[in-house]
Amino acid sequence: MLNISPLHATALRHPNAIALRFGPSPNAYDQAPGQAGRPEPSTQEGLALSYRELSRRVLQLGQRLRRQGLEPGARLGCVSGNCLEAILLYWACVDNGLLFCPLSPRLPPGQIRAMRREFALTAIWYEPAAARGAADLRLGLEDEPEAQDKLPPPVIDAGQAVNLIFTSGSSGKPKAAVHSLNNHIASAAGARSLIPLAPGDSWLLSLPLFHIGGLAILNRCALAGACISLPDPRLSLAGQIRHDAISHLSLVPTQLWRLLRGDADGVGFDPGQSSLKALLLGGGPMTQALLDALAQSRLPAFCSYGMTEMSSQITTGQAQADGNSGSLLPYRQLKLVDGVIWVRGETLFLGYLQAGKVCKELDDQGWFCSGDRGLIDGAGRLRLLGRVDNQFICGGENIQPEEIENALRLHPDIEEAIVFGEADAEFGLLPSAIIRGELPDPAELREFLQPRIAGFKRPRRYYPWPELTDQGGLKLARKRVIAAVLEAKSPGS
């Protein structure tokens, strides 16, 4: 059982292993030119920190946070993208019993202020690019080499709360999920049982820290002594895979498609020459065209099913054409109740922060309802069927939109599909589909779907994908897409 942070434990075991690679930082580190604490000089190759160096900087930052009056239990907001400062803040929070609360820099200032009030955040640090004059915490990240041996790693309680991750779930209203370090340790250990990770490996931090997938990468690498590579804005994804010898990579389907197809992010990417040992995919189902391209690439790809409340991955397996999400990882439990997935285990979060208290929404045996429907095949692999709250009734028949969407994605011209129930006087709701990609003729789609799904499930109307701003989320914003389509077709719009 760890009694010091995994970061410091690894610094003792592998002091010279590279912990972090990053390019020239766009941030000003809170100081004006000429003051102590300016960024280190950048080189063409970027910068690298060993575990010894990263550990020392975290200890220094923890001391500064204490000097600024942040005591154990304080809640520290962090409004930033993935950067050195955010990583240092996370581990400093772990050391000092603070609650690390990462927030997207895309959130409007009014929403950040409202979340600060609702969840009683003690202070907020803003990445300079996102501050907009609102910063109320200065980090002072100047390096103090002489302090290296003066600050021993503090003893910690790995069972206490270490972070809030805001998840909207199906309601659209943010919920603050609370995790302990033990949750993250169990999550990382289970993931490593299937996807090995060791010193010398390098995982690209391609998912934001305000998403559980990004925070999971931080903890996995620290526990294994592997290196985290921060995204370099000067490089394409393919370029950074090559430049940093990336061995592990987490992507959503859209990112993978761009990489394999040779878009701007994939120019010059040769799967046969890459250093990739594992490609972990999540964030939604994949089209047949993408599965075919993935099979041809021969990349070591894994599909997973996970959720914030279970500290990231729950099931994982090699990506296969049937679209299953793999088998249950260690330290997790899963069962189906009337086709709905329930979970528990060592990775299960501490609860939601509500009215100043951490509240668990569990049954009397400690099971958490995921709200997802699924089935388990004879090999023990999970197949997702869709969200319970996406289901609708058409003329007395239950319709699960994801079943229809999966069938539509098999069409070679369709990149993405969303199915929803549209009001009808006779049937109550009829299935309609929104298509991204080249929209085939409806008659062609009827013929295409005929052998794949029942007649009453086939969409009656098809709409082109709407133009939306800020589509950078990791999950498909289905409610926004549906709302945009309905608004465009309403009278007077």
Q: pTM for the whole thing?
A: 0.84
Best CA proximity match to 370, nearest among 405, 322, 403, 325: 325
What percent of the chain has a predicted confidence (pLDDT) above 90? 61
Report CA 315 to chain centroid distance, whole Å: 15
Which residues in 304-322 are b (16+ Cβ under 10 Å) and which e? bbbbbbbbbbbbbbebeee
pLDDT number for residue 39 = 36
> What's the one-letter identity of residue 259?
L
pLDDT number for residue 451 = 92
Report CA 99 to chain centroid distance, whole Å: 19
pLDDT number for residue 273 = 84
Phi-psi sector, 61: left (phi>0), alpha (psi -120 to 50), beta: alpha
What CA–CA distance (Å, rounded) separates 321 from 146? Answer: 56
What CA–CA distance (Å, rounded) separates 90 from 136? Answer: 17
Does residue 186 sit in helix, strand or coil? helix
Best CA proximity match to 397, nearest among 455, 340, 338: 455
Report CA 396 to chain centroid distance, whole Å: 37
Residues of the chain with pLDDT under 50: 25-44, 170-171, 493
pLDDT number for residue 368 = 97
Q: How many alpha carbons lie under 13 Å from residue 257 in its C-beta half-sphere?
A: 15
pLDDT number for residue 408 = 93
Burial class (CB in 10 A: 0-12, 13-18, 19+), 424: middle
pLDDT number for residue 35 = 32
> What's the one-letter identity of residue 482?
I
pLDDT number for residue 107 = 87
What is the full DSSP assignment across 128-143? HHHHTT----------
Cα 180-226-202 angle, rounded to 5 deg: 120
Residue 490, Cβ neighbours under 10 Å: how many?
A: 8
